[in-house]
Amino acid sequence: MTIGAVDLAAELIRFNTINPPGDEASCTEHLRRLLSDAGFRCEEVMLADGRPNLVARIGGNSATPPIAFTGHTDTVPLGAQEWTVPPHEGLIKDGRLWGRGASDMKSGVAAFVAAALKIADRLEGTPGVILYITAGEETGSEGAFVLARRGMRGEAGALVVAEPSDNRPFCGHKGALWLKATARGITAHGSMPDKGVNAVYAAARAVSKLEAFDFNVARHAVMGAPTLNVGTFHGGFNVNSVPDRAEIGVDLRTLPGMRHDHLFEQLASYLGPDVALEKTVDVPSVWTAPEDPWLRNVFEICGAVSGNSPVVEAAPYFTDASALTPALGNVPTVILGPGPTHMAHQTDEWCECARIDEAAAIYEKLILSWCGLGR
C-alpha cells in the first residue's frame, strides 16, 4: 500500500487535536485504519476517554527486535496572534504544508507511517517495525508514560523520534523538571499590612534566589549547561489586600547524569521553608553516544539522502523518548523529523513538502537497513 507522505500529513492536520483537550481519537483512528489495512497488528492503549495511544506492529522474528518510530498526534493551541492561513485545512502552497502540527509533528508521523506502509509487504520474517503513536505529548509526554508503565523492555532495538529537526539527526536532548513553588502568608487589609504576612514578598525573595542558583555541574560537550527559568509569577487577588498566596512556575533543563530527585531536594533546601515545591513535569534527558554503530548508520543514511554531512547535535526540547527510551531498556535513540525546529508552536506553522518526502525516504532506508533488506 502506498500513500504520499505530504498528502497524509495534510490529512492529519485536518483533524483538530489541540491539547488541551486533546481529542486525538479521530486522527488516531484514521491512522489505525490505514495501518490495519496494510497488515499491521494494531493495539490502542488509552490515556483517557477519546485519547488513545496507537501501537502498530508488522514483521518480527526471534533473532532481533524491531526498529521503532514514535510521534504524537496532539498539538498546542493556536495562540492569540491571528493566523494568515487556515490552521486546520492542510493547505499546500508555495512548496510548503501549512497548519497547526505541520512542523510539530504531524509531518513526522505521516512520513514514518508512509514509509512503513510502502514496504510493509516486504517485512514478514524480518525484525520488522513497531510504531508508537502517542497522545498527550504536549503536556508532559502523558501518553508515552502510560505505555512505559505497562512494560516495554525488549519490544524494540532502536528508536526514531520524528520530532522537528530539519531532518538532522539529534543524538539526544536535555531533561525537564518543571516545578510549582508556592509561598503562603496571612491576608489582611491593604491599609494595615502589618496585620498580615505578604506571600508575594516571600515569592519575590525566592525568585531572586533562583536567579542566582548554581547547578555546580560540568557542561555537556554538546548540550552545554543546565538551565533554570522562572516562567510564571502569580500572587494576590486584589490590590487592597495583603496576599496570602503566591505561586512561581520554574522550568529546569537538565543534563545526562543529573538526578531530578536530588535536584528537587537541593532546591527545596536552597529556597528554605517559606516556599513549598511541587513537581509538575519530570522527564529525564536522553543521550546516545554518536559512536554507537546504529547511530553512525543513521548519520550515513541521512547524509546519503540529503546530500549533507550531519554533525553531532542535540534537540533544544524534550520528547517522548524521555518515557520510551528508558522503558525499552535504554536503546539507541535519535530525534529525526522533517519539521523545521524553529516553526514548532509558531503562528502560521509550516513544513517544506520536500523535507517531508525526504524524511520518508530516510525512514524507509532505516527500516530496510535494520531488517537486512538493503538500502
Q: HEC states along 56-122?
A: EEECCCCCCCCEEEEEECCECCCCCCCCCCCCCCCCEECCEEECCCCCCCHHHHHHHHHHHHHCHHH
Task: Identify whether the C-beta of residue 84 lies closer than 8 Å to the C-beta of residue 149.
Answer: no
What is the C-alpha to C-alpha distance for residues 248 and 250, in angstroms, rounded to an integer?
6
- Reference 173, options 72, 359, 313, 299; nearest CA is 313
The pTM of this model reads: 0.94
Domains, the chain, in order of start with CATH, read: 5-173+285-370 (3.40.630.10), 175-283 (3.30.70.360)
- All cell numbers assigned to 310: 550531519
Among candidate residues 23, 24, 104, 137, the one labeled active-site is 137
Given a contact cutoff of 8 angstroms between Cβ atoms, the answer to whether 40 and 117 are in contact is no
Q: How high does pLDDT run on average in the chain?
A: 97
User: Cα–Cα distances in Å, from 19 out to 100, 141, 142, 198, 345?
Assistant: 11, 12, 12, 35, 12
Buried-exposed string 246-259: b where 16+ CB fall within 10 A, e elsewhere:
bbbebbbbbbeebe
**Percent with pLDDT over 70 in the chain:** 100
Strand-pairing partners, residue 350, are 98
Cell 532481533 belongs to: 64
HSE of 73 in the Cβ direction (CA atoms, 13 Å)? 35
Mean pLDDT of 201-208: 98
Q: Measure the CA–CA gap between 333 and 68, rounded to whole angstroms.
A: 9
CA distances from 97 to 5, 36, 335 (A): 11, 26, 21
Per-residue pLDDT averaged across 154-172, rounded?
A: 98
Residues shown for the chain: 375
Quick one: average pLDDT of 194-213? 98
pLDDT above 90 as % of the chain: 98
The residue type at 16: N
Q: What is the pLDDT of residues 68-86, one digit of tens each?
A: 999 999 999 999 999 999 9
pLDDT single digits (tens) 236-272: 999 999 999 999 999 999 999 999 999 999 999 999 9
Half-sphere exposure of 91 (CA within 13 A, CB side): 14
Q: For residue 360, give the H/E element and its range.
A: helix 353-370
Helices (H), 245-311: 260-271, 293-306
Place of cell 486546520: 88
User: Mean of the pLDDT values across residues 110-117?
Assistant: 98
Number of C-beta neighbours around residue 116 at 10 A: 28
Query: If you compute the radius of gyration of the chain from its CA atoms, what whole number of angstroms results?
Result: 23
* Overall average pLDDT of the 318-342 stretch: 98
Helix, strand and coil content of the chain, in percent to the nearest 5, comes to: 30, 25, 40
Residue 1 pLDDT grade (very low, low, confident, very high; cuts 50, 70, 90): confident
DSSP letter string over 306-355? HSS----EEESS--THHHHHHHTTS--EEE--SS-GGGTT-TT-EEEHHH
Residue 213 has pLDDT above 60, yes or no: yes
Tell me, yes or no, if 358 is annotated catalytic.
no
| 3-class SS of residue 30 | helix
Catalytic option among 74, 138, 163, 358: 74
Verify whether residue 352 is a known catalytic residue.
Answer: no
* Cell numbers 520528547: residue: 319
Q: What's residue 375's pLDDT?
A: 53
| Tens digit of each residue's pLDDT (9 = 90 or more) over 284-304 | 999 999 999 999 999 999 999
Q: Is the pLDDT of residue 2 over 90?
A: no
Which residues make beta-bridge pairs with 48? 51
Output the nine-digit C-alpha cell for 194: 502589618
